[in-house]
Amino acid sequence: MTREKDLSFGRRIWRFLISMQLALFLLLIVAAVSVFGTIIPQGEDPTFYQQAYGSLRGDLISLFDLNDVFHSWWFLGLALLLAASVLACTIDRLVPLWRQVTRFQFRYETSSYDGAPIKGEAYSQDEVKETAAQLAKRCRGRHYRVFLEERDGQVFLYADRGRFGPFGSLITHLSLLIILAGAIYGGLTGFKDYANIPEGETFTVRPAGFSIKVSDFRVDYYGDSQMPKQYYSDLTVIAGGREVLRKVIAVNDPLTYRGVTFYQSSYGWVVDGTINSQGKESKFTSLDRDVTSIGGGLSLKSFFYPDFVIDPSGHPGTRSHLPKNPRVVYALFQGSKILTYDVAKLGEPVKVNNNLSVIFTGYREYTGLQIAKDPGIPLIYSGSVLLLLGLFLSFYVFPRRIWAMVGPGQKGARVLLAAAAPRAQARLEEEIRELVETWPSKAVK
């Protein structure tokens, strides 16, 4: 046995990579550190972690990139090492397995049939060649690949089926590598975003280099209820200063352009208005229930009710989704201080003081779009298909092999059979019985 110190450096690296212990260890480590990527919010500002987890833990999160686990150098390093280990294990098994699948040999000695785990013996009244031809035909009828060889008045047969079944585990390993590569590639080169876009406005998808315009938005409701049935956004893609694509999207019916997909995610109301501060007038747009900066250190939070009503408990509400009695419940802030809050009609000025007034001029609906680009998706889909193929081969394709020696008998031909299968031995035993059942004298063990 070769000692470890006598091996070359390259051979030592290879043995390290094909170690099953290494692959299992890396799998456990990757799974363990992935937990941090799910329980710790990702991609937030460093001050968020300081406030949420305290100074020490916040510093540790930033130091070890736990705020962006799946893009951190150490996670990518672990993933690449795992990929190298799995690939090395696959290559190490591929060559011997390929030899096993593509090569075979006949069994010429009687003793090799006597010691077989599954064996059979039969006598035929036909000649040796005719008996061998009948046996080959029966094997082919059961989807076996058959080879025959004639030697010294005897005919030897080799038959197999399901020989590619052992490749199932290798294909499964390869599929996991492809899925992992797709996930890493998509994570490094793709992006995700979310945008609330009012009707008639345009949003620039900066990482993709084009814009999307919401030409129209509408909601279908169930009868007279407040429950939305479906909502639609009429989107226009603008690239290079011209319209290149237009589509009305809905939930589960997105738009895709240049690998960027726009999903219908949510919707709501947006209020337009004008603020007059010290004689200077400026326009603003405020999304329902969002805080909007309107300049001069002022911010506004608005709640739009299309069919305004005060319920018995004194809280504002809406009778329907139709804008029959639109009102805006608002709060105006100077920094963190509330200057005023009230209910306003559209078109009526709200005077805050002698130098400040606000008027809500109109309302629109906005569409909430989830924007995503993941160039690794084709790799992930391809890996998933290979994964299904590998599992199918592993669980449903069982390799089976049959050997036969057909020689002269007392009144015709004598047939010796041997068979082997790593799994489904009972099924193979039954096949051996079926192969010899038409001959008048037979024995199967």
Residue that the structure tokens 């963190």 belong to: 336
What CATH number labels 120-162+400-444? 3.30.310.80
Question: Any bridge partners for residue 193, and if so which?
Answer: 371
Question: In 239-317, where does DSSP find H-type helix?
Answer: none
Query: Distance between CA atoms of 157 and 406, rounded to whole angstroms?
Result: 8
| pLDDT computed for residue 443 by the predictor | 45
| Residues 397 and 423: beta-carbon distance below 8 Å | no
* HSE value, Cβ hemisphere, 13 Å, CA-based, for 277: 12
Q: What is the pLDDT of residues 257-306, one digit of tens each?
A: 999 999 999 999 999 999 988 888 889 999 988 888 887 788 999 999 99
Q: In the numeric block, which tokens belong to residue 264?
A: 């219908």
Q: What is the pLDDT of residues 328-368, one digit of tens each?
A: 999 999 888 898 889 999 999 888 888 889 999 999 999 99
Question: Any bridge partners for residue 443, and if so which?
Answer: 121
The DSSP secondary-structure symbol of 275 reads: E
Query: Distance between CA atoms of 398 and 389, rounded to whole angstroms?
Result: 14
| Residues 400 and 419: beta-carbon distance below 8 Å | yes
Identify residue 196 by its one-letter amino acid code. N
Residue 25 CB coordination number (10 Å): 13
| pLDDT computed for residue 6 by the predictor | 54
DSSP string for 308-359: EEE-TTS-EEES-SS-SB-EEEEEEEETTEEEEEEEEETT--EEEETTEEEE
> Is the overall model pTM greater than 0.75, yes or no?
no
Q: In the numeric block, which tokens belong to residue 378?
A: 């084709």
Ramachandran class of 66: left when φ > 0, alpha when ψ lies in -120 to 50, beta otherwise: alpha
Identify residue 44 by its one-letter amino acid code. E
Q: From first to last of its 445 residues, what are the pLDDT tens digits of the chain?
A: 455 555 677 777 877 777 878 878 888 888 888 777 778 887 777 777 887 888 888 888 888 888 888 778 888 888 888 888 888 888 888 888 888 888 889 999 999 998 888 998 988 888 999 999 999 999 999 999 999 999 999 999 999 999 999 899 889 988 988 988 888 888 788 888 889 999 999 999 988 899 999 999 998 888 766 788 899 999 999 999 899 999 999 999 999 999 999 999 999 999 999 998 888 888 999 998 888 888 778 899 999 999 999 988 889 999 888 889 999 999 999 888 898 889 999 999 888 888 889 999 999 999 999 999 989 889 999 999 999 999 999 999 999 999 999 999 888 899 999 999 988 788 888 888 888 776 655 444 4
Sequence-ordered list of residues with C-beta below 8 angstroms from that of 59, at least 6 positions apart, any chain? 50
| Residues 373 and 190: beta-carbon distance below 8 Å | yes
The DSSP secondary-structure symbol of 307 reads: B
Query: Distance between CA atoms of 66 and 310, rounded to whole angstroms?
Result: 47
Domain ranges of the chain: 4-100, 120-162+400-444, 191-373
| Residues 358 and 350: beta-carbon distance below 8 Å | yes
